[in-house]
Structure 1
Amino acid sequence: MEIQMMLSNVFTGINLALALILFILYLRMFLKTRSSFTIGLLLFAALFVIQNAVSFYFFITMMPYFVPEVASYVLSLTLLQTIALAVLNWITWK
């Protein structure tokens, strides 16, 4: 379990970085276009930043309280989010 939760911490940190990059990209877009759609994208990215920051904090501070059965689910969901944010960053960057 400990290895899976440590990997979850690593992937959550990566997710936080990817969400911050996405937020910066959307902010640049907003400053160029001043579109209301881009405000929605900014909010979307900001919520991902907040969600991953809170998850990272909880994983670090409450890791001893996680039951072993939950570790694989947490890791799989975190890994899926990493893949999704990476794809979204790649599409946005193009």
Structure 2
Amino acid sequence: MFVDHGDNAAIMLYLKQGHNLYGQLVEYPANPKDGYFRIIKAEWVTNEGEPIPLEIDADAVLVPAAEVKMIALAPMIESEKEIEEIS
């Protein structure tokens, strides 16, 4: 399912509690009711689409699959800092 999206694949997890988490997908569960999504470069996203940085000191975020209501796939959006470094 996620293979065709390549290394720059991003995912938006719509969580059952009403929060939205966006980031680069590293791992996903084989079973939609068990396991975890492992996300890097993660940030919260408001319902209006505004990003909110996570205030944690971790390389990745694990989200239990059972807490996910819906998934959306998208290209990974580069941060302004990454765009400046490329220029």
Q: Which has the higher helix share?
A: 1
Which entry has the higher C-alpha Rg, 1 or 2?
1
TM-score, normalised with respect to structure 2: 0.29
Higher strand share: 2
Greater RCO (Cα-Cα under 8 Å, separation 6 or more) = 1
Q: What's the TM-score once normalised by structure 1's chain length?
A: 0.27
